[in-house]
Amino acid sequence: MKRRKFVKLCASAVASVTASPELLARDNQQYHRYARVALVDPYSSEPVRASSLDVGETYLFHYPFVSTPCFLIDLGKPVTSRSNLETRDGDRYRWRGGAGSNYSVVAFSAICAHKLSHPAPSVSFINYQHGEVRFRNSFDEIEQRSGVIYCCSENSVYDPAHGGLVLGGAGAATAGCDRARVRCRAGFFLCHRHHRR
């Protein structure tokens, strides 16, 4: 392509977006359902079983892509279903609660929605804190609580026992943690998720 045609193409694209900025942020509510997969221990190649998880320990798996890390956490207490969760934008969603024989295992995206922080071999700015953490809640009050997902990039705090409900920080302005759906079948875990395109 010649330089002049390329410049015209770029100028046309800029003009189109300027005239209709919604072209960049279009939400057509189409969801893609990813295939259900079994979670497998990378060292033994055996399926991950609920009985092999330590309470309060964060396990990392990648789903549906190698670039999308997720947390698998045994909270150590039954997590019941809550069907009336809502984002700050007013979108309702249904969270099905925990998996496993004790209904205590949950899974969430390990990518922070604000700064796109995620676990890396050298450092992780977002993680699960089984012990007590102090943070500013949604009412800008200091709160102390255990069993939360905490992102120090924006001080966002989420409650994994209640579907990733936003407790405080920058997360208060947007939706909570993205949930990955985990089910336990025949003692091992299957993961699947819906993704908005």
Q: Average pLDDT by consecutive 10-residue portion of the chain (197 residues)?
A: 60 52 51 77 87 91 85 91 68 79 88 73 82 88 92 83 82 55 62 52
Taking the mean position of all CA atoms in its chain, how far away is CA 52? 23
Annotated domain spans of the chain: 30-196
Q: How many residues does the chain have?
A: 197
Tokens 């947007």 belong to residue: 174
Q: By C-alpha distance, which of 110, 133, 115, 108 is closest to 174?
A: 115
Q: Are 104 and 77 in contact (CB under 8 A)?
A: yes
pTM of the model: 0.72
Q: CATH number for the 30-196 domain, one of 3.30.980.20, 3.40.50.300, 3.30.390.30, 2.102.10.10?
A: 2.102.10.10
Residues whose CB is less than 8 angstroms from the CB of residue 58 and which lie 6 or more positions away in sequence, other chains included: 71, 72, 73, 127, 128
* pLDDT tens by residue, 108-139: 888 877 667 777 767 777 889 999 989 888 88
Q: Please, what is the average pLDDT of the chain?
A: 75
